[in-house]
Structure 1
């Protein structure tokens, strides 16, 4: 009791001190640039979900093969390269790392539209995943050193809004491209021949990154990162990170697995929403693209800043477990809507219910990293972000779409049961995540108290 009272007093002093820590010069410019880059990165990442029926018909693929392209191809290489990116982020120029990643994922996205085989498409999506492993550890580390802890959730939420806008725009753009291609003659490119609609959509969404990549050089390198490089303080390894994890194992386990389950909810359902609406409600792909895009863009514009602001305010009151507490509540609210969305008879009502669930959970990609950055020493944040991204990649990006397909093919044994598979998946992911966040709250309080700087 005495120890807990002492750490509470220390945290109160630390929070009072952090209220007066200024935001670094160029921080909001950095937030805007990173948000824009994440927008276009997610644009070419998520458009594959809308194009599933066209790709499947054109290449004559099964649901399981489609899930491998959407989940394993992207997620495996995202996972494998995340630790490498985290190691680089703590040692070298973050701007150069991000610049190389943007060029790489843009070229791979364009190549996704030029291939004509399952193997070629798998390799191209793997290239997108491997290169996009650069953006999250880089952005999290940059922003965490440009803003004080009590003001970090809002800029991270704005950054993540770029990803949500990109996801929504991928459906809007994909729907527009499909409608345009349907009404237009085939497009022939020298050397590559005739491109079908889904191929053209990949090419169009990949090209902007090549033009936007130089914007990374308008982002300031933080003074803390430059000082660590100059004094060789950034030469920590993953062994140092895992020793830190052993001090607070319950927090890092509950935090990592909980947010990975939310990632699985988002990626797993997004990967199959277009197919579900087409297969079970008879919607045209262009219509699906417009309405899913509008729903996701609207939710992102309204919700992300609100979620980030709410968590920052809750944390500023002295709640050391603010991030996990908030998301436990959001999971409880999302669960019934996520389950019901795939069991109702109306496609329009399905979109409404899904949008409510998505609104509750959309900020996971900012609230989760914000908690991680605050609880982790500065010289370990890049590596901690990389390990975190490995976890969400395995459980979310790789397994999410595959589990839904496996429920459909193996558990129910009927493609007509896709709705039941998605409902079951939505309930399991949100329920388990809510339980993990609740269990991890005391450990988060201890980790935050230990990580906060001593009061002046």
Structure 2
């Protein structure tokens, strides 16, 4: 009979109730960040007219503003995630995106708007590797796909809320006869209310406990050693990153330019599409998270290692025809294909995160996720929106935005399919296996 001292005391991370509460809180935090990052999209046409901006400037605000600081900070942030208290980093990121959202409301020039959206995008994007690292240590490896689906659902819930709540709130504020909030126009006042909600959601994070790290084989490894370990896994990680970048490019382009296409090509206003477009993000995200989580866990159990990526290969292949949504003759076709594209993107994104959480050692997991965010930010966020704008210019002008969005979506989806197939072939069986 072992002594009491030999029996480990129960910890917060192994109690199902506390684990579930921790994952729900992480999901709410990611939802808040995603909503703050996406809050500008449903009202950007009004901001463009109000501030006299061009499509190119809007693409920079929506793309480069988020990608530049993320690209600079994600690697050191990833290292900090592996070596410091992650909950504190998460709180700091939430404060950053809240300030960025509030700054959006009061920006009176392109430069100030760029900085404000930079802060909103920085916090929302950089919180993902932090949250995934915490969530991975709250769960056992064979349950991480299903656990991370809660985080994915939080992200898509935030994106859906940005369109649904943002569009409806804007419509209410625009139609109101009451005195404007702080004398602000409707699109600016919308961002004030978003910032208030975000600030309220920061408070519960102070009750989130830091979980014990699992699967650490080389604790305290220097940055150079950690980078060397990532390089040794390049045959698997490089195509995995490229595949997810392709998915991010397609999804970001759709998220940024779908609303302008609906307004320009189909003659709709935010009140006409805010509800169903928000629902499309939500439904695609919920079903995509569930399908992706179960597909990753089933695949890894059936075919250890490689099996995790089967769902990503299939989803990225199906997304190719779905990228034709901007040139559908009817709004109904537009909505259906957009929803399916987002569904496939959610599946692939969750499976990618699960693959990193399962097949990459803990001591370099945060750094790996940070590198993943850098590449995604530089290409997915930074290049995709501007590529669509430049494409429409080459095709004849801003009225060709829908065709340019279609070409970008199809090309990036093909890239994702090929890359995920290569990652599937090179995947190790576990985090401890050589690649």
The alignment's TM-score, normalised by the length of structure 2, stands at 0.92
Q: 2:220 aligns with which of 220, 231, 235?
A: 235
1:402 and 1:96 map into 2 onto residues whose CA distance is 34
Q: 1:173 aligns with which of 146, 165, 179?
A: 165
Offset from partner CA, 1:180-218 (integer Å, 9 cap, x none)? 1221136445xxx52111111111112222222132233
- Structure 2 counterpart of 1:5: none
- Structure 1 counterpart of 2:414: 431
**Quick check: 1:290 aligned with 2:275?**
yes
| Cα distance, 1:187–1:43 mapped onto 2, change above 3 Å | farther
- Structure 2 counterpart of 1:443: 426
Offset from partner CA, 1:399-452 (integer Å, 9 cap, x none)? 11111111111x212222111111111111111110111122221136656079
Q: 2:21 aligns with which of 2, 10, 29?
A: 29
Query: What does residue range 144-223 of structure 1 map to in structure 2 within 5 Å?
Result: 144-185=136-177, 187-189=179-181, 193-223=182-212
RMSD after superposition: 2.1
Q: Is the 8 A contact 1:331 1:361 kept in 2?
A: yes
**Quick check: 1:253 aligned with 2:238?**
yes
2:347 and 2:399 map into 1 onto residues whose CA distance is 32
1:449 and 1:432 map into 2 onto residues whose CA distance is 29
1:436 and 1:298 map into 2 onto residues whose CA distance is 27
2:432 and 2:413 map into 1 onto residues whose CA distance is 28
1:134 and 1:96 map into 2 onto residues whose CA distance is 13
Q: Is the 8 A contact 2:305 2:427 kept in 1?
A: yes
Other structure's SS at 2:210 match: coil
| Cα distance, 1:219–1:366 mapped onto 2, change above 3 Å | farther
- Structure 2 counterpart of 1:420: 403
Q: Any unmatched runs of 5+ in structure 2? A: 1-11
Query: What does residue range 66-77 of structure 1 map to in structure 2 within 5 Å?
Result: 66-77=58-69
Q: Is the 8 A contact 1:335 1:431 kept in 2?
A: yes
Other structure's SS at 2:383 match: helix
- Structure 1 counterpart of 2:366: 382
- Structure 2 counterpart of 1:95: 87
Other structure's SS at 2:274 match: helix
Other structure's SS at 2:370 match: helix
1:210 and 1:451 map into 2 onto residues whose CA distance is 44
CA offset at residue 133 of structure 1?
4.4
Other structure's SS at 2:298 match: helix
**Quick check: 1:356 aligned with 2:340?**
yes
- Structure 2 counterpart of 1:52: 44
1:124 and 1:23 map into 2 onto residues whose CA distance is 36
Q: Is the 8 A contact 2:235 2:426 kept in 1?
A: yes
2:337 and 2:180 map into 1 onto residues whose CA distance is 41
1:377 and 1:320 map into 2 onto residues whose CA distance is 13
Q: Is the 8 A contact 1:76 1:398 kept in 2?
A: yes
Other structure's SS at 2:106 match: coil
| Cα distance, 1:377–1:445 mapped onto 2, change above 3 Å | closer
**Quick check: 1:270 aligned with 2:260?**
no
CA offset at residue 351 of structure 1?
0.8
1:208 and 1:349 map into 2 onto residues whose CA distance is 34
- Structure 1 counterpart of 2:375: 391
- Structure 2 counterpart of 1:224: 213
| Cα distance, 1:216–1:233 mapped onto 2, change above 3 Å | farther
1:260 and 1:377 map into 2 onto residues whose CA distance is 22
1:100 and 1:91 map into 2 onto residues whose CA distance is 16
- Structure 2 counterpart of 1:128: 120
CA offset at residue 235 of structure 1?
2.7
- Structure 2 counterpart of 1:3: none
CA offset at residue 105 of structure 1?
1.3
Q: Is the 8 A contact 1:255 1:324 kept in 2?
A: no
2:430 and 2:395 map into 1 onto residues whose CA distance is 43
CA offset at residue 376 of structure 1?
1.5
- Structure 2 counterpart of 1:325: 310
The alignment's TM-score, normalised by the length of structure 1, stands at 0.88
- Structure 2 counterpart of 1:17: none
